[in-house]
C-alpha cells in the first residue's frame, strides 16, 4: 500500500473539475488518508467512503463464442487497439464496498473460495484497506452469476460466509433462479450451480428481496438494468451532491463493451435488451455528471464516461 502523492490528487481533482465543473462528482479522501494499494482503492462520494476491492482475475481466451454477434477478428482487433489481448486477456473482478454511518455495505461477493486459484482475494484486500469482512452489515447482490454470488458460500459446506449480514437480492433475479423448472433448462454443466442456489438461498433467513428504486443502503438506490440477466441491477450512490453509479455488469470489460454497446458477450442473456439498457444507463451517467464503477473494468475500476462515436469511452481516475 502506498500514499497517493499530492500531485496525483491535484491532477485527479483537476481532471474531474474540467469535466464536471467546480463541483466534481467524487472527491478523493484527503492526501493524508488517500490510499491506493495495488489491490484496493479508497475514495469518497460526499460523506460516504467507497472502496474498490480487487477479487482477482481469470484468463479469458478470445474465441468465436466470446462475442456472439461479432467476428472474432474484430474482437481481437479491438483488444489490440486498447493494448490488451488480443488472443487472451485477464478478466478482472472488482466488488465495491462503502462505509456509511459506520456501516459496511458490500456490493457483490466475488467468488470467495469457490473459484480459480487466481481469484478469492477480496477478503484479504478488504483487510488491507481497513475493512473487517466479519463486520459487513449488508451484502447487496446485483445478479446471480457465479463471480458475483459464489463468495456468499463456504466452499465445503455451502454455509454462509456472511451469516450476520443482511443480504439483499433483486426480486426478479431471485424468482428466476429459484424456479425449480430452471434446472432442466440450463446446460448440464451449469446445473450444480443452479441447484446450489435452490438448496441454500430459500433457507437463509437473512435474505431480503428488493425491487427497482429501492433504497438498499443509506444514500444508495437500486436501478434495474436488465439484459445481462433478467433481474440485473445497478446502484446509485449519492451524497453531498456527488454521484457514483455502480454499474455491476451493464458491460464486461470497458475496452470492448463500453466502446461497443452493441456487442453481445456470451454472458449477456438478452443481447438487444442489454444494449438498450447500456445506452440508457450510460446516457444517464453522462447527463447526471456521475462517476461510474464497473465490476469488470480492471484497476482502478472507477472513472468517467463520455460519448465516443456510436459508443462510449471510459476514463479511469488517475489516483
Ligand atoms: Zn460478472
- For residue range 21-79, list pLDDT tens digits in order: 323 455 554 433 445 556 889 999 999 999 999 999 999 999 999 999 999 999 999 99
Question: Which tens digits make up the pLDDT trace of 144-154?
Answer: 999 999 999 99
Measured CA to CA, the distance from residue 29 to residue 181 in angstroms comes to 48
77 CA distance to ligand 1 middle (Å): 23
Residue-level length of the chain: 319
Q: What is the CATH number of the domain that holds 262?
A: 3.60.15.10
Q: What integer pLDDT is reported at residue 15 of this predicted model? A: 36
Asked whether 296 and 250 are in contact (CB, 8 A), the reply is: no
291 CA distance to ligand 1 middle (Å): 19
175 CA distance to ligand 1 middle (Å): 19
270 CA distance to ligand 1 middle (Å): 15
Asked whether 82 and 108 are in contact (CB, 8 A), the reply is: no
CA distances (Å), 262 to each of 67, 120, 161, 270, 315, in order?
10, 31, 37, 12, 20
> Which residues, by Cβ under 5 Å, contact ligand 1, an ion?
147, 249
17 CA distance to ligand 1 middle (Å): 31
Domain limits for position 224: 2-316
252 CA distance to ligand 1 middle (Å): 7
67 CA distance to ligand 1 middle (Å): 15
Measured CA to CA, the distance from residue 120 to residue 20 in angstroms comes to 36
Q: Which residues are 242's β-sheet partners?
A: 239
Exposure of 276 in the CB half-sphere (CA atoms within 13 A):
6
Q: What integer pLDDT is reported at residue 25 of this predicted model? A: 52
143 CA distance to ligand 1 middle (Å): 8
Domain count of the chain?
Answer: 1
140 CA distance to ligand 1 middle (Å): 14
228 CA distance to ligand 1 middle (Å): 9
Q: What integer pLDDT is reported at residue 146 of this predicted model? A: 98
Name the DSSP class of 109.
-
Is-cis flag, bond preceding 299, omega within 30?
no
Q: What integer pLDDT is reported at residue 27 of this predicted model? A: 55
What lies within 8 Å, CB to CB, of 136 at 6+ separation is 97, 104, 105, 106, 162, 165
CA distances (Å), 132 to each of 40, 69, 108, 124, 294, in order?
14, 43, 16, 9, 23
Q: Which portions of the chain are predicted below pLDDT 50?
A: 1-24, 29-34
Amino acid at each position: 500500500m502506498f500514499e497517493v502523492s499530492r500531485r496525483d490528487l491535484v491532477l485527479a481533482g483537476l481532471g474531474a473539475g474540467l469535466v464536471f465543473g467546480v463541483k466534481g462528482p467524487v472527491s478523493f479522501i484527503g492526501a493524508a488518508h488517500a490510499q491506493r494499494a495495488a489491490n484496493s482503492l479508497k475514495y469518497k462520494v460526499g460523506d460516504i467512503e467507497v472502496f474498490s476491492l480487487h477479487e482477482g482475475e481469470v484468463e479469458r481466451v478470445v474465441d468465436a463464442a466470446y462475442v456472439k454477434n461479432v467476428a472474432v477478428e474484430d474482437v481481437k482487433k479491438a483488444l489490440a487497439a486498447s493494448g490488451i489481448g488480443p488472443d487472451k486477456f485477464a478478466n478482472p473482478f472488482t466488488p465495491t464496498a462503502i462505509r456509511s454511518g459506520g456501516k459496511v455495505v458490500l456490493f457483490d461477493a466475488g467468488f470467495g473460495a469457490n473459484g480459480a486459484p487466481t481469484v478469492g482475494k477480496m477478503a484479504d484486500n478488504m483487510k488491507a484497506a481497513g475493512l473487517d469482512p466479519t463486520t459487513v452489515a449488508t451484502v447487496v447482490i446485483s445478479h446471480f452469476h457465479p463471480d458475483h454470488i459464489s463468495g456468499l458460500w463456504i466452499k465445503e459446506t455451502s454455509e454462509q460466509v456472511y451469516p450476520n449480514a443482511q443480504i439483499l437480492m433483486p426480486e426478479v433475479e431471485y424468482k428466476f433462479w429459484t424456479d425449480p423448472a430452471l434446472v432442466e433448462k440450463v446446460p448440464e454443466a451449469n446445473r450444480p450451480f443452479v441447484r446450489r442456489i435452490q438448496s441454500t438461498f430459500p433457507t437463509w433467513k437473512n435474505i431480503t428481496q428488493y425491487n427497482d428504486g429501492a433504497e438498499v443502503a443509506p444514500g444508495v438506490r437500486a436501478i434495474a438494468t436488465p439484459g445481462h440477466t433478467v433481474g440485473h441491477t445497478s446502484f446509485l450512490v449519492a451524497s453531498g451532491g456527488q454521484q457514483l453509479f455502480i454499474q455491476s455488469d451493464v458491460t464486461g470489460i470497458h475496452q470492448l463493451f463500453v466502446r461497443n454497446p452493441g456487442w453481445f458477450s456470451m454472458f449477456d442473456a438478452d443481447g438487444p435488451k442489454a444494449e438498450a439498457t447500456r445506452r440508457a444507463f450510460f446516457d444517464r451517467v453522462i447527463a447526471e455528471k456521475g462517476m461510474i464503477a464497473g465490476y469488470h473494468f480492471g484497476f482502478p475500476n472507477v472513472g468517467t464516461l463520455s460519448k465516443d462515436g456510436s459508443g462510449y469511452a471510459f476514463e479511469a481516475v488517475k489516483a
